[in-house]
Amino acid sequence: METAIEKNNEQQAVLINLMSAGYLEPEIFHMEKNQLLIEADELSKEKDRISKSINGDLTHLEEAKKLLLQTDYKSHAIGAMVGYPEPNYFSYVFKRQFGVSPSKYRTEQEEK
């Protein structure tokens, strides 16, 4: 995502340089510039959406950690409670974030 945003910024700079040097006619410059601005806006919105999704996942996973320690609910039930109705996906996301499966996290924390 960051690479696409950087590329868009570079393309805008090149376009401005070409216009300044007289290689582009104003109509073409404005048409291309508008297209790049639309693309930049779409990239920005996508980056925001991804960021909000990641932050939401972290909030849900932190809540799952609390529930794993404070309740006896099975991990698939906790996953559903925090927004992951598919047990395998919940375990996958939890392990990707914390390095252990939900059940292993619970066991390790209980041993401490």
Whether the CB-CB separation of 11 and 36 falls below 8 Å is answered with yes
Give dist(CA 44, CA 2) in Å, integer.
Answer: 10
Alpha-carbon dihedral sign for residues 78, 56, 36, 30: positive
The reported pTM is: 0.55
pLDDT in tens, 49-107: 776 666 667 889 999 999 999 999 999 999 999 999 999 999 999 999 999 999 999 99
- Three-state DSSP class for residue 85: coil
